Structure 1
Amino acid sequence: MNINDIKQIKLHDFLAAIGCKPVKQYGVNLMYLSPLREEKHASFKVNTEINQWYDFGIGRGGNIITLAELLYNSSDVSYLIRQIERNAPSSVSVSLPTAKPITPQNSFEHLQVLPLIHPALIKYLGERCIDVETARTICKELHFDTRGKHYFGIGFPNIAGGYEIRNPFFKGCIAPKDISHFYAEEPKKVCFVFEGFMDFLSFMTLRRKENDGLKRQDYLVLNSVSNVHKALEPLSHYEHVQCFLDNDEAGRKVYQALLTDLKIHVTDSSRLYAGCKDLNEFLCRQNTLPQKPVRNLRRGL
């Protein structure tokens, strides 16, 4: 096999040949327990349409070669080809779970997923007081057409392969809509919960000042209060859930739902930014508020 032959191998067939099988399917996306690390909840995605993978836990993705580089800890292409050939599926074929077709919530066409660099989006993040480099480690720049017009926005990935989309004039999502779940490098007993990704990015911006990054903590973003039922199963595997929800009726209802349905310790941390609607407002008011509340927020974590 040459490298072009190797790239034609279906990723889901290759993964099946090395003993990895999908645990969920969302349209053309298959979700796996990552073959690159230990995890309890599937956060490794394979898009069968474009034959690409993405591991949400480490923020890496690509084709079968880039996967082999990490699996076999080598950048020697000839060695990687030999390793893939050794495990290349001949008659092995993964049995995909059946799934009902998903009807998109919006008619997005010609979707492009790019690095986050557009000046208008960078300006928007600045207006929300979000650290740009922090946002770039998680978010993408999405370009798409809908109803005959071209749009672009900040894309925040979820566990099902969809995206939440934001720009100064638009708030929506590319289906499937789901929660977002990020894992630390080592298993954690505590998970921090947020309603939306702007609050999550606000929290990460505050933590960046203490060099406390994505890999040191588990985080779950609901992406909608209506997704709280989807969060119950993954959150049930922790000993403690700490909620950074909005200081409004919707936020209180989500907290009560988690408190009632989870048989673990659930903490309401919204008091740490009392007087603000949410974490983003708290972040944006930093320059006018005394420094003590900011230290109190960090100390409360």
Structure 2
Amino acid sequence: MLAFAKEVHWRNKGRRYFAVGFPNESGGWVLRSSIFKGNILGGGISIQVLGTVKSIKVFEGWFDFLSYLKLSGATDFKAIILNSIANLSMRLMLDSLKERQKVELYLDNDTTGERYTNSFMKIARLYQYCLQEGLSIDWDLTMLRGSRDKLCKQITNLKIEPSKEVEIWRVETEVTDQRGYYTGYEDLNDLINRSS
């Protein structure tokens, strides 16, 4: 853990605080202690590259990432630590797929984790379908702002015939939902804590 984290000290309203701090991509820190959970100097995702990257693994938080390392010992992947499920944007999904088609999702076993996992899997299928059919994978995501169903709007933007839409959802991808490994637990960290 020392390679990924630092002890961070700060003051607020004359009081001193400290927490374990994990760096994020915006130059800020994700802070965790027994009394505080938050960010300083900006929020956002964190990225860790371990060894020769064979896949991308997406984790909701740092403790899920660290739990995975303890359980697996794997050192050949790029970790995207979301630090908040809200950071799993369509842009991040597409960028991940463009970089490496093998993506493993380690999201929480709750309704939000289910929703985001399903969204990522659908985007991956549409992306793979576009590759197979020679359609553009440079999607203009600004056109999708404010759209309730961004995926349906993107299908329309790509001019995919309605009769062909069913084929999209049958496309095989290398994006996998890993929550089955910790069924009955909230997340990987919960698995470690309750198994100890």
Q: TM-score, normalised by structure 2?
A: 0.69
Shift of 1:207: 2.6
Answer yes or no: is 1:152 the counterpart of 2:18.
yes
Retained in 2: the 8 A contact 1:179–1:231?
no
Q: Which has the larger radius of gyration?
A: 1
Question: For residues 94-129 of structure 1, what are the alpha-carbon distances to aligned partners after superposition, in whole Å with 9 as ceiling and x for unaligned?
Answer: xxxxxxxxxxxxxxxxxxxxxxxxxxxxxxxxxxxx
Residue type at the aligned position of 2:107: L
Answer yes or no: is 1:246 the counterpart of 2:155.
no
Matches within 5 A, 1:197-216: 197-208=62-73, 212-213=74-75, 216=76
Distance 1:279 1:181 in 2: 18
Number of the residue aligned with 1:99:
none
Shift of 1:184: 3.3
Residue type at the aligned position of 1:221: I
SS in 1 for 2:11: strand
SS in 2 for 1:183: strand
Aligned residues: 147
Q: TM-score, normalised by structure 1?
A: 0.46
Number of the residue aligned with 2:88:
228
SS in 1 for 2:50: coil
Residue type at the aligned position of 2:86: S
Residue type at the aligned position of 2:58: V
Shift of 1:273: 0.7
SS in 2 for 1:160: coil
Number of the residue aligned with 1:184:
50
SS in 2 for 1:285: helix
Quickly say closer, same or farther: Cα 1:143–1:191, change in 2 above 3 A: same
SS in 2 for 1:218: strand
Moved more, 163-172 or 260-269: 260-269
Answer yes or no: is 1:195 the counterpart of 2:66.
no
Matches within 5 A, 1:279-294: 279-287=188-196
Number of the residue aligned with 2:157:
none
Superposition RMSD in Å: 1.6
Which runs of 5 or more structure 1 residues have no equivalent in the other structure? 1-134, 288-301
Instruction: With a CA cutoff of 8 Å and minimum separation of 6, indicate the structure with the bigger relative contact order.
Output: 2
Distance 2:95 2:5 in 1: 22
Shift of 1:233: 4.1
Distance 1:247 1:179 in 2: 20
Which runs of 5 or more structure 2 residues have no equivalent in the other structure? 129-172
Structure with the bigger percentage of helix: 2
Shift of 1:232: 2.1
SS in 2 for 1:141: strand
Question: For residues 118-169 of structure 1, what are the alpha-carbon distances to aligned partners after superposition, in whole Å with 9 as ceiling and x for unaligned?
Answer: xxxxxxxxxxxxxxxxx11101110001122110000011112111100011
